[in-house]
Amino acid sequence: MIVVLLGPPGAGKGTQGERIAAALGVPKIATGDVLRAAVKAGTPLGLEAKGYMDRGDLVPDVVILGIMKQALAAPEQARGVVLDGVVRTVPQAEGLAAVLAELHRPLDVVLLFTIAEDALVARLSGRTVCDGCQTPFTGRAPSETHAECAQSPKGTLVRRKDDEPDAVRNRMRVYEAQTAPVVAWYRAHGANVAAIDALGALDVVQARALKAVGKG
């Protein structure tokens, strides 16, 4: 079972990916994890990737796909894998399709987590963190004092810059510009694209996703 996850940052794709992978009994892998593992292991492709990273450059798709191919060929991935953040652009979708074809592994389903921009803004702007003890909160406003703070003086709740409404709306625009063509590409190539409503409690969204992968 090979599952590709698509969805905007903050939609809960990573958390749901973990849950889906656990339910399917397969690993979830993200590009960053695979890349770090290859660099740490000092594989030829890992060293090549490290060269780009050390220079502050983006690692090219061809290097990442080579590392991904080796990861997908590993025995731990024999039963399947949930791929998170591996496909963000059409060239990456094409590259992954080529890798899977070489490995004779079909892509079973693309889970497209969807959430309205206003709902995402509301969700993320409701997240704060104590600037003293780093405790995260949901539904508490910035500038409140953290009454139970372990730090002295007590910390103040702050919102991460990434969670500010303007930042969220900007990320959503970038995501949509990149991802709409990816979804269209998958549909045009006959992939099973299942849209999952990402708004709701974790268990509710999980049930929707599991149904889409045939485990509901």
Q: How far is the CB of 15 from Zn ion (least distance, A)?
A: 24
The β-bridge partners of 4 are 83, 110
Site track for Zn ion across 13-52, x = CB under 5 A:
----------------------------------------
Q: How far is the CB of 146 from Zn ion (least distance, A)?
A: 4
Q: Figure out which of the listed residues 146, 175, 179, 208 binds Zn ion, where binding follows CB under 5 A.
A: 146
130 interacts with Zn ion by CB under 5 A: yes
Q: State the Cα–Cα distance between residues 29 and 47, nearest whole angstrom.
A: 20
- H-helix or E-strand spanning residue 6: strand 2-6
Per CB under 5 A, does 132 bind Zn ion? yes
What number of chain residues touch Zn ion (CB under 5 A)?
Answer: 6
Question: Are residues 69 and 103 in contact, defined by beta-carbon separation less than 8 angstroms?
Answer: yes
Please, what is the minimum distance in Å from the beta carbon of residue 165 to Zn ion? 24
Largest CA distance in the chain: 59
28 is catalytic: no
Write b or e for each residue in 45-66: b if 16 or more Cβ atoms lie within 10 A of its Cβ, otherwise e: bbebbbeeeeeeeebeeebbbb
Q: Is 88 a catalytic residue?
A: yes
Q: How far is the CB of 123 from Zn ion (least distance, A)?
A: 22
Cβ atoms of residues 100 and 106 within 8 Å = yes
CA-to-CA distance for 95 and 61, rounded, in angstroms?
A: 8
Whether 160 sits among the annotated catalytic residues: the reply is yes
Based on the residue annotation, tell me whether 171 is a catalytic residue of this protein.
Answer: yes
Closest CB to Zn ion among residues 139, 190: 139
Q: Give the binding site for Zn ion (CB under 5 A).
A: 130, 132-133, 146, 149, 155
